[in-house]
Structure 1
Amino acid sequence: MAAMTHIKKTDVEGHLPEAGIRAGADSGNPMLNVQALEHITGSNVGIWECQPGGWPVVDRSDTEVCYILAGAARITDEASGDVREIAAGDLVVLPVGWTGRWDVTETVRKVYAIY
Structure 2
Amino acid sequence: MLIESLTTEGITPETSRPEHVVEGDPVHTTWNLDDDRGLFCGIWQSTPGAWRATYAEWEYIHVHHGHAVLEGDDGTRTAIGPGDSLVLRPGWSGIWRVSETLRKDYVILLR
TM-score range, shorter chain: 0.7 to 0.9
**Which portions of structure 1, spanning 4 or more consecutive aligned residues, are displaced by more than 4 angstroms?**
12-16
> 3-state SS of the aligned residue for 2:21?
coil
The answer to whether the 8 A contact 1:30-1:52 is kept is: yes
Per-residue deviation, 1:62: 0.6
Structure-1 separation of matches of 2:41 and 2:56: 16
Give 1:7's aligned amino acid.
S
Whether the 8 Å contact between 2:15 and 2:28 is mirrored in structure 1 is: yes
Aligned residues: 109
Tell me the TM-score normalised to structure 1 length.
Answer: 0.83
- Structure 2 residue runs of 5 or longer lacking an equivalent are none
Do the aligned partners of 1:5 and 1:38 also contact (CA within 8 Å) in 2?
no
More strand by share: 2
Long gaps (5+) in structure 1: none
Residues of 1 paired with 2:44 and 2:95: CA distance?
Answer: 17
Provide the residue aligned with 1:7 in structure 2: 5
Change (3 A) 1:92 1:13: farther
* 1:12 positional shift: 5.0
Q: Tell whether 2:87 aligns with 1:89.
A: no
Of 95, 102, 106, which residue of structure 2 is paired with 1:112?
Answer: 106
